[in-house]
Chains A and B, each alone.
Chain A
Amino acid sequence: MHGAQIPFAEALNPLAAGFILLSAFGMVATRQVQGVMRFFILQSAFLALSAFLIGFSRGSIHLWALGGITIAAKVIAIPWVLKRTLPGDLYERREIDQALNIPSSLLLALLLAIAAEFVVSPLVTTSADAVIRVNLPIGLAGILIGAYSLIARREALPQLVGILAMENGAFFAGVALAPDLPLIAELAVAIDVVLIAVVIGVLTRDIHRTIGTTQAAAMTELKEESQP
Chain B
Amino acid sequence: MTRTVAYNIIQLLFVIGFAPLYAGVLSRFKENVQSKRGPSIFQPYRDLWKLFHKDEVVSEETTWIFRVTPYLVFVVPLFVTTLIPVLTDYPLAFAFMGDMLAGGFFLGLAGFFAGLAAVDTGNPYGPMGASRTRMVGFLAEPVFMIVFFTVSFVAQSTIPYIVQQKWVASPAAFFSPAHILLLIAFLMLILAEGGKIPVDNPTGHFELAMIDESKGLEYSGRGAALMKWGGAMKFLVLTCIFLNVLLGPWGLAHGQQLGDVLLAVPLILIKVFLFVIVLVVIESSLAKLRLFRISEFLGAAFIISVAAMIASIFSVSVA
Q: Which A residues fall within an 8 A CB radius of B?
A: 1-4, 6, 11-15, 17-19, 21-22, 25, 29, 102-103, 106-107, 109-110, 113-114, 117-118, 121, 124-125, 133-134, 137-138
Q: A106 → chain B, closest Cβ, in Å?
A: 5
Check A18/B180 contact, CB under 8 A, given A12-B175, A103-B296.
Answer: yes
Using CB atoms, name the residue of chain A closest to B311: A117
CA distance A138 to B181 in the complex (A): 12
Does B184 lie at the interface of the complex (its beta carbon under 8 Å from any beta carbon of A)? Answer: yes
- List of A residues within 8 angstroms of B319 by Cβ: 1-2, 133
**A17 CA / B319 CA spacing, docked (Å):** 17
Contact B314 A106 (CB under 8 A): no
Is there an interface contact between A121 and B307, defined as CB atoms closer than 8 Å? no
* Those of B269-319 within 8 Å (CB) of chain A: 295-296, 299-300, 303-304, 306-307, 310-311, 314-315, 317-319
List of A residues within 8 angstroms of B181 by Cβ:
18, 21-22
Bound CA span A103–B303, Å? 9
Question: With a CB–CB cut-off of 8 A, which chain A residues contact B318?
Answer: 121, 124-125, 133
Which residue of B175, B307, B314 contacts A3 across the interface (Cβ within 8 Å)?
B175
A102 B176 Cβ-Cβ under 8 A: no
Q: List 21 A-B contacts (CB under 8 A).
A: A1-B319, A2-B172, A4-B171, A6-B171, A13-B175, A14-B176, A15-B180, A18-B176, A21-B311, A22-B304, A25-B304, A102-B299, A103-B295, A106-B299, A106-B300, A110-B307, A118-B314, A121-B314, A125-B318, A133-B319, A137-B314
Q: How far apart are the CA atoms of A102 and B293 in the complex, in Å?
A: 10
- Residue in chain A with minimal CB distance to B183: A18
Point out the residues of chain B lying under 8 angstroms from A109, CB to CB. Answer: 303
Q: Return A70 CB to nearest CB of chain B, in Å.
A: 19
- B179 interface residue, CB < 8 Å from A? yes
Q: Is the CB of B172 within 8 A of A1?
A: yes
CA gap between A117 and B241 in the complex, in Å = 29
Chain B residue with Cβ nearest A137? B314
For B179, the chain A residues whose CB sits under 8 A away are 14-15, 18
B residues less than 8 Å from A125 (CB atoms): 318
What B residues does A14 contact at CB under 8 A?
175-177, 179
What B residues does A4 contact at CB under 8 A? 171
Structural contact, B172 and A25, CB atoms closer than 8 A: no
- Does residue B170 face the partner (Cβ distance < 8 Å to A)? yes
Chain B window 154-183, contacts with chain A (Cβ cutoff 8 Å), 1 for yes, 0 for no: 000000000000000011100111111100
Q: A14-B176, A103-B295, A114-B310 are in contact. Are A3 and B171 (CB under 8 A)?
A: yes
- By a CB distance below 8 angstroms, the chain A residues around B295 are 103
**Residues in A whose Cβ lies below 8 Å from that of B177:** 14-15, 17-18, 21, 134, 138
Chain B residues within an 8 Å CB radius of A137: 311, 314
Closest to B319 in A: A1
Q: Which of B172, B295, B318 has the most CB of A within 10 A?
A: B318
- A113 touching B310 by the CB < 8 A rule? yes
Interchain nearest-CB distance for A3 vs B (Å): 3
Please tell me if the beta carbons of A103 and B299 are within 8 angstroms of each other in the complex.
yes
User: Are B184 and A106 in contact, CB atoms less than 8 angstroms apart?
Assistant: no
CA A121 to CA B315, docked complex, whole Å: 9
Residue of A at shortest CB range from B181? A18
A121-B314, A121-B317 as given contacts; A1 in contact with B303, CB under 8 Å: no
Contacts of A25 in B (CB 8 A): 300, 303-304, 307
Report the separation of the CA atoms of residues A11 and B170 in the bound assembly, to the nearest whole angstrom: 12
Instruction: Kindly name the residue among A1, A6, A118 whose own CB sees the greatest number of chain B CB atoms within 10 A.
Output: A1
Provide the bound-state CA to CA distance between A133 and B178, in Å.
Answer: 13
Among B68-127, those with CB < 8 Å from A are none
Q: Is the CB of B172 within 8 A of A117?
A: no
Q: Which residues of the other chain, A, contact B310 by a CB distance below 8 angstroms?
A: 113-114, 117
List the B residue with the shortest CB-CB distance to A134: B177
Max count, chain A CB within 10 A of own CB: residue among B178, B179, B314 = B314
